Amino acid sequence: MDESARRIVVLGKTGAGKSSFAKTLCGEPVFEVDHTAESGTQKCQAKFMSVGGRMVLFIDTPGFIDTDRPGEDMKSEILKCITECAPGPHVLLIVLKVEKYTDHEKAVIDKINQYFSDEALRFTIIIFTHGDQLPEGTKIEEFVKQSEALGDVIKKCGGCCHVIDNKYWKNNQGDEYRSNQYQVAELLKTIDEIIEANKGGYFTNEMLQEVKRDIQQEEGRIKQSSPNITEEETAAKAKQSVFKNLLSKAAGVTTGALLGAFFGGAIKLMKEERSLGLAVGVALGTAAGVAAAKGMMADAATASDTIPAGSAEPAAE
């Protein structure tokens, strides 16, 4: 396992093209792509791959921000993603389609605004797929301006957005902008800029740090009891053990609370349901989380938007 790899979590609604995007990004198939009527990633998948000469842990997720997927189905996949990316992702990529902005797309943006803290959005890039739907001569920044809500989210991401086309933009045919080669190169520059701006750090919070500590402790126990197994096997066993423990502790916690805790939006969620932060803290067994949640319950009416929900952690782990 490469601890120096950049951890990239890819999010987006089902069918947006997340798995195909991974192939476009690294130039070869990474995840199996389902082209059936019910296409889309059904399970959280994590794989190491080389992108632009750099090692990346690419974490593909099911539709966390879908508006029509049963929440209970998502709980185990959210916890798996948390376990895979702990102590936190260097970059979050949200994949959307180039398409007419409808009520369904508005609901997706509303979910992003609900679950993502402003701190998490500092580490976020919006990637648009189906670039062939972009009118000729139009850049993605111009397309985004058609929706005020979408434009506001991208502003919170520091204006970071790019466009690709997994099907048609495979070769440069005279228009550099409508070329995946060009767009991937620009995306890699943006990823580098985000990591550099955060001094090599990553998005983290108390829960993600606690999960990382649990994994490290479990790795130590495994090495003592089974000294002959490889580092990769040790890491896999440790993550699986911590994941099972998280899943048992998260019984009764809503999917929204887990997403809010993951992306730092728990404080915003407290406005609507003050017990959510406490439920996450108790269920996941994080002492600081419980203390913070109790504090939020006491101060939610006045301080809910001023308490930092996440932070940039230095690269050293």
CA-to-CA distance for 226 and 218, rounded, in angstroms? 12
Residue 257 CB burial class (10 angstroms; 0-12, 13-18, ≥19): buried
**Mean pLDDT taken over the chain:** 82
Residue listed under structure tokens 């932070």: 311
CA-to-CA distance for 126 and 118, rounded, in angstroms? 14
16 three-state secondary structure: coil
Q: For residue 96, what are the β-bridge partners?
A: 128
Mean local confidence (pLDDT), 210-220: 97
Query: Over the Cα atoms of the chain, what is R_g?
Result: 19
Tell me the residue type at 90: H
Q: For residue 95, what are the β-bridge partners?
A: 12, 127
Q: What would the pLDDT profile of 188-204 be if each residue is shown by its tens digit?
A: 999 999 999 989 899 99
- Of 59, 58, 65, nearest in space to 14 by CA: 65
Phi, then psi, of 240 in degrees rounded to 5: -65, -40
CB distance 245 to 253 below 8 Å: no
What pLDDT does 276 receive? 45
User: Which of the two residues, 229 and 289, has the higher pLDDT score?
Assistant: 229
- Cis peptide leading into residue 89 (ω within 30°): no
Query: pTM of the predicted model, to two decimals?
Result: 0.85
- Of 134, 102, 90, nearest in space to 13 by CA: 102
Residue listed under structure tokens 């949640």: 293
Q: What would the pLDDT profile of 119-136 be if each residue is shown by its tens digit?
A: 999 999 999 999 999 998
> Domain map of the chain by residue range?
6-202, 203-313
- Look at domain 6-202 and name its CATH class: alpha beta
Mean local confidence (pLDDT), 85-106: 90
> What sign does the dihedral 203-42-111-287 (CA atoms) show?
negative
User: Which of the two residues, 96 and 14, has the higher pLDDT score?
Assistant: 96
Mean local confidence (pLDDT), 19-29: 81
What DSSP string describes 204-229? E-HHHHHHHHHHHHHHHHHHHH-TTS
CB atoms within 10 A of CB 178: 21
- Of 259, 233, 289, 291, nearest in space to 110 by CA: 259
Given a cut of 70, whether residue 41 has pLDDT beyond it is: no
- Of 265, 202, 261, 178, nearest in space to 59 by CA: 202
- Of 77, 45, 52, 54, nearest in space to 2 by CA: 54
What is the enclosing helix (H) or strand (E) of 71? helix 71-85
